[in-house]
Chain A
Amino acid sequence: MTGSVTRRTLSYLGIAAVAAYCLAPFYWMAISAFRRPQDQFDNSPVPARWSWENFSAVFSGDNGFGRALLNSVIVAGCTTALTLIIGIFTAYALARLEFRFKNAVLGLIIATTMFPGISQLVPLLKLFTDIKWINTYQAMVLPSLGFALPLSVWLLTAFFRQLPFELEQAAMVDGCTRGQAFRKVIVPLAAPGVFTTAILTFIAAWNEFLIALSMVNKKEMQTATVAISKFTGVSGFDQPFGTQMAAGVIVTVPLLVVVLVFQRRIVAGLTAGGVK
Chain B
Amino acid sequence: MINMTTYDDASAAAPAAADAPRRKRRDAQGTRQLAAVLLSPTLLVLGLVIGYPVLAGFRESLYARGQGLDADGFVVEGERFVGLDNYTAIFSGDRADAFWNAFWNTTFFTLTTVVLETLIGVTMALIMHQAFRGRALVRASILVPWAIPTAISGLLWRWIFQADGAANAVLRQEILWTADGFPAKMAVVIAEVWKTSPFIGLLVLAGLQMIPRDVYEAARVDGAGALQQFWRITLPLVKPALLVAVLFRMLDVLRMFDLPAVLIGVNQKSVETLTMIAWFEASNLRYGSAAAYATVLFLYIALIAYLFVKLLGADIIGEARQQTRRARRNHPVKGRRKGAEVAA
Contact = CB atoms under 8 A, between A and B. Distances in A.
Whether chain A touches chain B in the assembled complex (some CB pair under 8 Å)? yes
Interface of A: 7-8, 11, 14-15, 17-19, 21-23, 25-26, 28-29, 32, 43, 86-87, 89-90, 92-95, 97-100, 102-103, 105-106, 108-124, 127, 142-143, 145-147, 149-151, 153-155, 157-159, 161-163, 165-166, 169, 189-190, 192-193, 195-196, 199-200, 203, 206-207, 209, 225, 228-229, 241, 244-245, 247-248, 251-252, 255-256, 259-260, 263-264
B202 A22 contact: no
14 contacts: A8-B132, A19-B141, A29-B156, A89-B41, A99-B32, A102-B317, A113-B252, A116-B294, A118-B257, A120-B49, A162-B237, A206-B147, A244-B152, A245-B155
Interface string B192-216: 0010001101110111011000000
A209 B151 contact: yes
Contacts of B302: 111, 114
Given A15-B138, A32-B159, A145-B49, 7 more contacts: A8-B132, A29-B152, A43-B165, A106-B317, A192-B206, A241-B159, A252-B147
A207 B127 CA distance: 28
A23 B159 CA distance: 16
A149 B46 contact: yes
Interface in B301-335: 301-302, 305, 316-317, 319-320, 323-324, 326-327, 330
B291 interface: yes
Interface string B276-294: 0011001000010011001
B57 A123 contact: yes
Contacts, number: 297
A157 B319 CA distance: 11
Contact of A158 (B53, B199, B241): B241
B158 to A, nearest CB: 9
B136 interface: yes
A266 to B, nearest CB: 12
A158 B207 CA distance: 9
Contacts of B206: 159, 192-193, 195-196
B174 to A, nearest CB: 14
B166 interface: yes
Contact of A127 (B52, B141, B248, B255): B52
B152 A86 contact: no
B140 to A, nearest CB: 5
Contacts of B237: 162
A200 B165 CA distance: 31
B332 to A, nearest CB: 11
A18 B124 contact: yes
Interface string B139-164: 11111111111111101110110001
B77 to A, nearest CB: 17
B324 A98 contact: yes
A87 B43 CA distance: 11
Contacts of A7: 130
B76 interface: no
B148 A26 contact: yes
A158 B316 contact: yes
